[in-house]
A and B are shown apart, each in its own frame.
Chain A
Amino acid sequence: MDEHELRRVMLATAAGYDPETFASYRRVTAGVGRAARSWRAPGRRRVRLALAVCAVAVCVGVVTLLALPGSDTPTRVGIDPAREVAAGGARTSAPGPLAFTDTNHGVGLRSLCEMPADADPACTLTLLRTTDGASTWTPAGASFRVDYPDWRGGPFIDLAMHGDDGWIYGNRSFVTHDGGHTFTEHTPGGIVAALSMQEATTWAVTRGCAPSQTCTASIHVVDNQGGSWRELPEAPHVTSPYVELERPTEQTAFISGSFGRELLVSHDDGTTWSRRALPELCGETHRISAVSATVVWAACGEASPTQQQRKQVYRSRDAGATWELVAATSDVRAPGTLASKGSVTSFLATPDALWLTFDRAPMSRSTDGGATWTTGPDLGGDGPLTFANARRGWTVIGLDVYRTVDGGDHWRRVDSL
């Protein structure tokens, strides 16, 4: 390869990379980004620049939207001043059918189910793999059909991956140790209501009965590399039919039924547990999201049958011992204001933002710890969110995969599972 050839292949390769410019310009000029946060312009000059930047940003936005028909820009929402939500390691995805290891590599679960009214449901499960950030998907292995005897309606089916190890779990649970090429049934006993993978181990909260029936859940642990499930002997009783399990570190676990005010906390691999109380409204329904061993968030709402829902978002900096109200609907005075429309369907706290998705309402995002919230584009539905970093994330609505490359300002449908 000579200089001429090198220049040619560089130009050809670079031409395939089209960096997003609109949101980037806003970050550069309007206060988002590490550099902009340290901006220390004198007062009068800052005001003058801010006014000018607003005009320029609008101009550039219009030009860019017109000039880049292929960019990820179906709908645009406002931008917030960027302040970190909380320090510490964090989960970056809600339980769902997608799992990404970086901005390009991930897996997605396609589950196509037949649910006749008078017979057991059956589903065909396929794990798909992407190496280009969800633009294209290919099967990681063969599809397999799963019957769900003595069950009516849609069975629980979810996905968790950590490297080449992963689980398709729910009513029946299957494990892979080769990146999804093959799966083997490996149930801890009962329905897996929640599952969490950390570096070395997988925890599962299991129930021996259907959600409509009352029974006590148990907690099982297995090594990611394989082996047998073992039950945690000192695990507390959980009776809620729907359970959340958060493990921000290998040793720390937060468990909470979706109904009720109880939060169970362990910092020693489940050897000992503490019972903590969630705020009052959380007793109706709530979602929790932990970003570290001490910082945990709760999105609570009334169990309302209407499209309006009272909501409150709380933060605890001491693993649930005390709670601070950071945002609420207008019925309660709080630093941040949440929209009433829509019931919360998922809640995700990452180091960069708080995310709420709603039934029949567009998602909301806060990048300043809940003080201000912006409404995202209407994607025609809602699904769990997954992020590889502060800017690149995905969601699945039905089987359609949507991607953002600018931290949620814009979402674009990229492919289907």
Chain B
Amino acid sequence: MKTDLSDFEAFFTDHYATVCRALYLALGNEDDAEEAAQEAFARAFRRWDDVAGAERPGTWVFVVAVREARRVQRRRRRPLEPRLRVVAPDPGDRVASRMLLDDALRGLSARQRMALTLRYYADLSTRDIAAAMRCREGTVKATIHAALHHLRAVHAEDPLEECHG
């Protein structure tokens, strides 16, 4: 099937920022996120006829971007240390959200961060996450379960939580 190139423009506009943001949440680094995202979209562009004909092009580019993110991280040999920033309407909520997410993600492994991000930010299915992370669906479920368990524990131990009540 031959597809008009303007479709790629629309596809890029619809998905690029979302892919970047997901990788940013998982990696904690804007440059790595954008490098991996651009690589994924460049691949999609090179074989756009095939990608456009896929069942879910958005998921396809997510899968490629996640795999590329791992290459980017390996190439730079830099430990994953999330340094996230946030802009929310309410400054108080902004600070609280950033601190909460920073603290929570800091205790997770890179694999757990990626799985949670793909599940709860990108809304990918377990099957798609497994494809992106090159593991079995059961492993994805176990990874997410363990990560959520950790987050609940971190939140429960938050000494400030008692002040909110």
Q: Footprint of B on A, CB under 8 Å? A: 1-3, 5-21, 24-25, 27-29, 33-36, 39, 41, 49, 52-53, 56, 59-60, 103-104, 132, 389, 391-392
Contact = CB atoms under 8 A, between A and B. Distances in A.
B4 to A, nearest CB: 9
B104 A13 contact: no
Interface in B13-56: 13, 16-17, 20-22, 24-25, 30-31, 33-35, 37-39, 41-43, 45-46
Contacts of A103: 30-31
Contacts of A9: 97, 100-101, 104
B133 interface: no
Given A17-B30, A24-B38, A12 B9 contact: no
Interface string B137-165: 00000000000100110110000000000
A216 B94 CA distance: 58
Nearest to B154: A1
Contact of A60 (B13, B33, B83, B151): B13
Contact of A19 (B8, B17, B121): B17
B70 interface: no
Given A28-B42, A35-B38, A16 B86 contact: yes
| A17, A20, A39, A59, most chain B CB atoms within 10 A | A17
A17 B21 contact: yes
B25 A14 contact: yes
Interface string B90-105: 0001100110110010
| A12, A18, A20, A103, most chain B CB atoms within 10 A | A12
B101 A13 contact: yes
B66 to A, nearest CB: 15
A21 B16 contact: yes
Contacts of A12: 86, 88, 93-94, 97
A99 B30 CA distance: 20
| B8, B46, B94, B117, most chain A CB atoms within 10 A | B46
B47 to A, nearest CB: 10
A327 B37 CA distance: 35
Nearest to B101: A9
Contacts of A25: 9, 12, 16
B23 to A, nearest CB: 10
B45 A56 contact: no
B131 interface: no
A33 B17 CA distance: 18
27 contacts: A5-B155, A6-B148, A9-B97, A9-B100, A12-B93, A12-B94, A14-B25, A16-B86, A16-B94, A17-B30, A17-B85, A21-B13, A21-B17, A24-B37, A24-B38, A24-B41, A25-B12, A27-B38, A34-B39, A35-B38, A35-B39, A35-B43, A39-B46, A56-B9, A59-B9, A60-B9, A392-B31
Contacts of B83: 104
Given A10-B25, A13-B98, A24-B37, 14 more contacts: A6-B104, A9-B104, A12-B86, A13-B97, A15-B86, A16-B86, A17-B21, A18-B17, A21-B13, A24-B41, A29-B45, A34-B35, A35-B39, A35-B42
Contact of A36 (B9, B34, B42, B85): B42
B110 to A, nearest CB: 16
Contact of A389 (B12, B31, B33, B148): B31
A17 B24 contact: yes
| A28, A56, A132, most chain B CB atoms within 10 A | A28
Contacts of B84: 13
B80 to A, nearest CB: 14
Nearest to A131: B83
A5 B39 CA distance: 31
B63 interface: no
B39 A1 contact: no
The 10 closest A-B pairs by CB, nearest first: A16-B87, A35-B42, A14-B21, A19-B20, A1-B155, A16-B86, A13-B86, A12-B97, A9-B97, A1-B151
A9 B85 CA distance: 11
A132 B148 CA distance: 30
A10 B41 CA distance: 23
| B42, B93, B121, most chain A CB atoms within 10 A | B42
Contacts of B85: 13, 16-17, 132
Contacts of A6: 104, 116, 120, 148, 151
A101 to B, nearest CB: 13
Nearest to A49: B5
Contacts of A11: 121
Nearest to A104: B83
B88 A19 contact: no
Contacts of A36: 42
Contacts of A5: 100, 155
Interface in B120-140: 120-121
Given A19-B33, A132-B85, A14 B38 contact: no
A28 B97 contact: no
Contacts of A60: 9, 12-13
B101 A7 contact: no
A27 B12 CA distance: 12
A52 B101 contact: no
Given A33-B38, A33-B42, A39-B46, A10 B101 contact: yes
